[in-house]
Each structure stands twice: as structure tokens, then as C-alpha cells.
Amino acid sequence: MRELSCFSDGSVSVAAASVSGRGALDRSLQAATTSVYRAVLSSGKEMLVRVTWTRSAAGAAGVAVAFDDGDSASSAAAAGSRQVLLQKKRGSRTLVTGAGTAVGVHWDTAEAKYPSGPSATPEPERDYGLAVVADAELALLLGDGAAARELSRRLGLGLGAAVPRGAALVSRREQLLGAGAAHVTRCRFREGGDEHEVAVHACRGGDGLLRVSIDGEKVAEVRRVGWGFRGNRAAVLADGEVVDVMWDVHDWWFGGRGGGNAGAGAQFMVKARAEKEGRLWMADDTAARGQSPGGFFLHVQCYRR
């Protein structure tokens, strides 16, 4: 794994706000994971599907699905009106988006199996199914096991790849409420690419220590967090993937020292560079224009209790 270069720290705080949002985790939740998929229908229409899995402090699981299909009224209020909270463990819901897309959401989490542990993701591991149909066309299919097979049978779908052709995972945000900033997750930075393990860790003892590792190899480290609470690095992974690693732990580090805000927590971002992209993506105004950058984007937020 080879480190490339360091860029201006001013872009780091902008990154989270522009792409993943800086909203704090609901304190009634222990964890939340939001995955954003881009689905392309046969008509050429593009739709972003946001699937949010949650786990409450009491251990109860939840899931919500939201849509963005290019409706010009893309305000926060309009976006909220297109969210579907799946309150039962199985069922179907239909709606029409602001852009006129007829959407059906079908799900079955009655027998879903979830990873264990206080820092585990709230997303089920197996035995669940979730499908989104847009304009009578499959836009997204997630899950495996008997639940996914039965859901596919009822909808008359094939049992091929979990994500239909034309749909791709473009970003993922994982939020965790705990005593410290430490988390391990797995992701693919490119569709069809290798799966990588991403580990983030921040320690408050002494001058503090911050570290980000990918596949066990350190890609970023700060030994005096009070001076390096924001920053970024670029690294080349063993498979040739180039990623930008960014962090902003200002609120987490200073939150308990003189009235700082601990609500935003410690933020870690890993962004895969798009093909032929030769510089840090925040060096241009793509995110400033409210557009998603090319390449997969992982955003991890850890909050103190």
C-alpha cells in the first residue's frame, strides 16, 4: 500500500456535508447504516434509492427506504416525503414520487439474521429480502435465503445477482453510538472489485491517536490529535485502487473540553477515485454544486454516549 500525497485540510469538513450529510445520530438509536444505490431503468431514467437500517438502544431493528429520481423540488422537506418507513417485518408499500415515478417497495425481514456485537452493523446478514420496483421494472433487489427467494417468486423475478443490472452501490454511511471512536467495516470501492476491510480508530488518552487502516495496512495516522484533528491522505491499495482518506474529529476531540459540540462525532471518509481522476475530488467544485462525485464513498461517524 503506497501513500501518495496530502491535500488542503479545508476540503475535509466540506466532504461530509456535501456528500453524506453531517446530521448527528438519533440518540434513541445505537447504530444506523445508509446505503445509496443508483438504479438506471430501461427508459433511461435514473433513480437513487437510499436504504437505511437502524438498531435502537434496546436492540430493535428498523428499516426505511427513500427515493430521489430527479424531482426539481429536491428540498429536505420533499426528500422526507418520499421516504417509506417499513414498520412491519414483511409487507408491500406503493407511492408516486414528485417526478411521477410509480414505486413499489416489498420486503420480508421476519426471519432476518443480524451480526452480533455492540459495534456491529444493523444491516441483516442473511435470510431477508427487499425489492424496489419502479415504473413496473425492478430497480433494486437485496437479500438472500428463503425470504429473498420467496420475494423474488411473488414478484416474478429471477434469482440472479442481488443487485440488478443498472443498479450500483455509490455510497455508504455507517453511524455508531459508543464509548469511543473505533469501527471495522467491509466494502467494495468499485463494482465487481475486491472486498476491503476498513478499520478506523481514535484514542483520547494523552495526546491522542488516530489511525485508519485498509486490509490491515495503515493508510493514515495522527499521533497528536489536537493538532491533526482534520486531514487527508491518498493511498494506492494492493489491487491498484486509489483512494482518498479523510477525517474530521474536531467535535469528538474538543467536545468535552470547554463546550465544543460532540454531536457530530468523529468522522472518517474513504473515497475511491474515479477512472482518470488525478487529484483529490474535493479540489474541484463537483460537491459544491451538490452533485455526487465519481467513485464509491464510505462515511463512518462514531459518537460518544
Q: Are residues 126 and 216 in the same domain?
A: no
Q: Are residues 137 and 161 in the same domain?
A: yes
Reported as a single tens digit per residue, the pLDDT across 223-252 is: 999 999 999 999 999 888 899 999 999 988
Domain-located, residue 161: yes
Q: Are residues 218 and 276 in the same domain?
A: yes
Q: Are residues 79 and 165 in the same domain?
A: yes
For 67-75, the CB contacts below 8 A with 24+ separation are 67/97, 67/101, 67/103, 69/45, 69/97, 69/99, 69/101, 69/134, 70/45, 70/46, 70/99, 71/97, 71/98, 71/99, 72/99, 73/98
Q: What is the pLDDT of residue 110?
A: 94
Q: Which set of grid coordinates corresponds to residue 163?
A: 443487485
Domain-located, residue 125: yes
Q: Are residues 159 and 179 in the same domain?
A: no
Q: What is the pLDDT of residue 278?
A: 53
Residue ending a domain, choose from 151, 169, 187: 169
Q: What is the pLDDT of residue 26?
A: 82
| Under 8 Å between Cβ of 297 and 271 | yes
Domain-located, residue 123: yes
> Domain count of the chain?
2
Q: Are residues 85 and 194 in the same domain?
A: no
3-class DSSP state of 12: helix
Q: What is the pLDDT of residue 19?
A: 45
Domain-located, residue 253: yes
Residue ending a domain, choose from 169, 189, 207: 169
Domain-located, residue 27: no
Helix/strand/coil percent split, the chain, to 5:
15, 45, 45
Q: Are residues 47 and 8 in the same domain?
A: no
Q: Would you call 180 exposed, middle or buried from its count of C-beta atoms within 10 A (0-12, 13-18, 19+)? A: middle
Q: Residue 45 is part of which domain span?
A: 34-169
Domain-located, residue 9: yes
Q: What is the pLDDT of residue 264?
A: 61
Residue ending a domain, choose from 129, 151, 169: 169
Q: What is the pLDDT of residue 69?
A: 85
Which parts of the chain sit beneath pLDDT 70? 1-23, 71-81, 157-166, 179, 256-264, 275-294
Q: What is the pLDDT of residue 160?
A: 46
Q: What is the pLDDT of residue 74?
A: 41
Q: Are residues 98 and 217 in the same domain?
A: no
Q: How many of the other CB atoms lie within 10 Å of CB of 23?
A: 13
Reported pTM: 0.83
User: E-assigned strands of the chain?
Assistant: 2-3, 29-40, 46-56, 61-68, 84-85, 90-96, 102-108, 128-134, 137-144, 167-178, 181-188, 195-203, 209-214, 217-222, 230-236, 242-248, 266-272, 297-304
Q: Are residues 161 and 89 in the same domain?
A: yes
Q: Are residues 183 and 291 in the same domain?
A: yes
Q: Are residues 157 and 177 in the same domain?
A: no
Domain-located, residue 29: no
Domain-located, residue 28: no
Q: Are residues 99 and 150 in the same domain?
A: yes
